[in-house]
Each structure stands twice: as structure tokens, then as C-alpha cells.
Structure 1
Amino acid sequence: MKVKVWIMLLILVFLLSGCSKPENSTLPLAFIEANKVRINDLQLDTIDEIIQERTIDNGARVLIFKDKEDGQINGGINLRDKYYQIGEVSVENTPEDLMGIEEVQVFGKEAIKIYGILGTSYAQAFYWFTQEDFQGSIIQVDGNTTEIDLDNDGKQEIVSTLGTIPQTKIYILDENKIYACDINESIGAESSILKDRDKKLFEIYFQPNKPKKYMYDKGLLKEIVK
């Protein structure tokens, strides 16, 4: 008799688990304030060659140049008759499509994006928010970057992905401060990537061969279950 009861219970559990639709998983993300780049004075006699330059609306010039002393490819800004250095942008002989200067809109603000590569599978970008106070107006983002309106509020966030096992970060603006979230560390994922830019879908692995799809919504990742 007891065996029959257990069998009936097991069948009932099996049927219920098979017929019920799994609930969407919602994961909170942990954000920390992004570090700002220290801006140093640039001496003109250290410039060996200007590789790229761009003049923007306020008359400032943005440069990618080769340093005369160490051959490093650095970024620079010419603002109000003074020159400043923001750090290493790329390696020598970087292909043209992997290094450049662009005007972008991020967080509802105007920004200049200066990007390059520092090695195999190691891209990076600097974002200079030109309307902010100069010191404290630049952030540096590791990885391949894209600007995308994740939460459909009309303002673009930054998503970056780094490494052959993808590690993805989301950068947001909150109360006029920039915050970053490392998705892998925040939710304990093995890998994460913005898989479909048009649909704004992240593909996240918690274990091999079992990808899950998520969308970002105001500090949360919401699982998309078919």
C-alpha cells in the first residue's frame, strides 16, 4: 500500500513539474562607482607622431599620438592652449578599424570616445564627458565597448566585454555619478555577453552548455523564458 502511495506521489510531482511554466528569474546587480582617469600635463616635445586627431565643437582637439621616449600610443587633449595626456590608448601597428576617436552620446551627455587595443582580446576605451569639469571628466573602460539604451529611457548606457571567456560590465549614471557592475562577479556567472544588441539580450552561463537569456531593467537582470 505504501509503495503505491509513493508511486502516485512521484507521478503527481512529475506531471506538475512538466506542466507548470517556470517563473522568470530576476537577479539584482551590484554597482560600484567607476574610477576617474587622472589627467596629466603633456609636454609637446614628447610627441613623436600624431596618428589621429579630431577637433570638437568647443574648439578642443583630441589626439592619438606616438610617444617619442617609449613608442607608446597615447591619448591627448589640447584644451585652452594647454596639452594633457590621458594614458596609453593602443599598441603600435593597430589596424585602423580597432583604434579611433568618435563623438558619442552616453547617459544623455556628449562624450568623446578614444579607443584602441592593448593586446590580443584586450580592447579598451576612454570616455571624455566634455561638458563636465575637466579633472574627473574621463573614465577608462576595459573591453570591447558599445553604447546602448538598455532600459529604454532614451539615454544610452555603456556595455563592455573582456576576455576569451567573456566578462561583461554595465555602466550607468545615477544621481550624476557613473557606476559599473561586473555581471560575472555580481551574480556568480561563469561568463556573460551582450549576445543580441537589437533585442538587448544578454547570454549568461552559470554552468557549461546551459545558456540563459536576460534583459536589463533598472539594476536587475530579468530572465527571458520561452
Structure 2
Amino acid sequence: MRLKLLAVIMLLTLLLIGCNKAEDHTYSLDFFEVSKVKLDNLQLDNINKIIEEKRIDNELKAFLFKDNENGQVNGGVSLNGKSFYIGKVSVENTPEDLMGIEEIEIFGKKAVKIYGVLGANYAQAFYWFVEEKPQDSIIQVDGQTMEIDLDDDDKKEIVSTLGTVPETRIYVWKEDSIYASDINKSIEAKSVSLKDKEKQLFEVYFEPNKPEEYVYFKDSFIKR
């Protein structure tokens, strides 16, 4: 009789654990350190046309330009009189609202955002942290990007979304470096996108036609 009672108690315990797991909608996110963009020297005679320029101060500026080889739009920065090439920014004839240079604040740091599109559903942005050392000053982010304070600490993070079936990443500052999390992979979701910027609300699909709402909090995704 005692053995049967113990067996029943163990079974009930396992069932309760299973229920708690089913009701637990908090997912820990996996993060990886973001690589910095390698800066290459830019020869001014390779510049065919300056499209846009943003001067930060007398020694710092960012610019978009076309070179002598093709019609694509490239990005460059000037640091203390030296010019550097950062990469392809956008295709030729990109609409003005999809390409440009902006001064922003991200992770509580002063930055310049250089953004454009390289094809259908393929946007990207470079973030230049102007107060950092040159070799640690620029990251490249794939996807449509926006800056938003996800954890209400008065410092904005980066959210990027890429693809017709949305794949979303969060970029955060911790341990004196920039880390990113691929949310789709971390929580094994089919689709993730930022639905409401004001409410910091993400829309998640684990299966078709069943959207769920989540928020980011302390390196985790929590169901609303």
C-alpha cells in the first residue's frame, strides 16, 4: 500500500512539473559577440561623386559616395584627416527615404547610422561609434533596423528584422562590448518581428496562424 501511495505521489509530482513547464513562457536568449568592421584606407581619387555627407566635428565625418568602378553607393568615414572605406551601403537609384546618414544615440553612446538597401527585402546599416577607437568603432547590421529602449534603462538597443518570413535580432551592450541574439534560433520560432515599438511588443509565430506576443526583459523573452 505504501509503495502504491509513493508511486501515485511521484506521478502527481511529474504531472505538476509538466504543467509548470507548459505554462512557463519565458525563454532565455543566446547571445554572441558582434564583430567590428575592418576599416580599409580610402584613396580620394577613387571617389567619383559624394552623394551625402554628415560632419560630426572638424575631425570626424561620414559620407556616401559612388566610386569609379560601378554605380553602387559606398560608405566612408573620415577620422583626423584620414579617409576609410567601410563597405557597400546601397544599390544605385535607392529612394532617399531608404538610404542616408543620421546622428543618433545608441547604448548610451554617440553614434552615426549609415543605412541603405542592397536588394529586395535586404536592408542593412552601419553604426559608427564616434568616441571609440577606430578599430572598435563600427558594426554592420543586416535587416531593417530601429533603435528602441527595450529594458527601460534610458539607453536604446538595436532591433533588426530580415526576410519575408521575419527573422529578428536584438543588439545590446554588455561587458564593454556589443552582443546580439538571433531570437528565432534562441526560442525556436518560425517568425519574429517587432509589432509595436511604443509598447516594446514582439509578435512570434511558433506555428502558422497562431501569433503570440512577447516582450524582452533581462536577456529573456517573456510572453504577455
Query: Structure 2-normalised TM-score?
Result: 0.88
- 2:114 pairs with 1:148: no
Counterpart in the other structure of 1:76: 76
Q: Secondary structure at the match of 1:135?
A: helix
Q: Secondary structure at the match of 2:103?
A: strand
Question: May I ask how many residue pairs the two structures share in their alignment?
Answer: 203
Given that 2:59 and 2:81 are in contact with CA atoms closer than 8 Å, whether structure 1 keeps it comes out as no
Q: Secondary structure at the match of 2:184?
A: helix
Shift of 1:120: 0.7
Q: Secondary structure at the match of 1:38?
A: coil
- Cα RMSD, aligned residues only: 1.1
Shift of 1:177: 0.7
Aligned-partner residue type, residue 166 of structure 2: P
Measure, in 2, the Cα distance between the counterparts of 1:137 and 1:78. Answer: 12
Unaligned 5+ residue runs, structure 1?
1-21
Q: Secondary structure at the match of 2:97?
A: helix
Q: What do residues 147-200 of structure 1 show as CA deviations (whole Å, max 9, x unaligned)? A: 000000110000000010000000000011100001111111000000000100
Measure, in 2, the Cα distance between the counterparts of 1:56 and 1:105. Answer: 13
Counterpart in the other structure of 2:10: none
Counterpart in the other structure of 1:105: 105
Counterpart in the other structure of 1:10: none
- 2:23 pairs with 1:28: no
Shift of 1:72: 2.5
Given that 1:24 and 1:222 are in contact with CA atoms closer than 8 Å, whether structure 2 keeps it comes out as no
- 2:62 pairs with 1:62: yes
What is the 5 A alignment of 1:87-166? 87-166=87-166
Counterpart in the other structure of 1:53: 53
Measure, in 2, the Cα distance between the counterparts of 1:80 and 1:27. Answer: 45
Given that 2:100 and 2:114 are in contact with CA atoms closer than 8 Å, whether structure 1 keeps it comes out as yes
Unaligned 5+ residue runs, structure 2?
1-21
What is the 5 A alignment of 1:191-206? 191-206=191-206
Q: Secondary structure at the match of 1:185?
A: helix
Shift of 1:56: 0.5
Shift of 1:35: 1.2
Counterpart in the other structure of 2:16: none
Aligned-partner residue type, residue 215 of structure 2: M
Measure, in 1, the Cα distance between the counterparts of 2:72 and 2:82. Answer: 21
Shift of 1:57: 3.1
Measure, in 2, the Cα distance between the counterparts of 1:112 and 1:199. Answer: 25
Given that 1:141 and 1:160 are in contact with CA atoms closer than 8 Å, whether structure 2 keeps it comes out as yes
Shift of 1:70: 2.6
Q: What do residues 90-147 of structure 1 show as CA deviations (whole Å, max 9, x unaligned)? A: 0000000000000111100000000000001110000000111111210000000000
Aligned-partner residue type, residue 206 of structure 1: F
Aligned-partner residue type, residue 99 of structure 1: M
- Over the matched positions of the two proteins, sequence identity in percent amounts to 59
Query: Structure 1-normalised TM-score?
Result: 0.88
Counterpart in the other structure of 1:217: 217
Aligned-partner residue type, residue 48 of structure 1: N
Counterpart in the other structure of 1:3: none
Aligned-partner residue type, residue 159 of structure 2: V
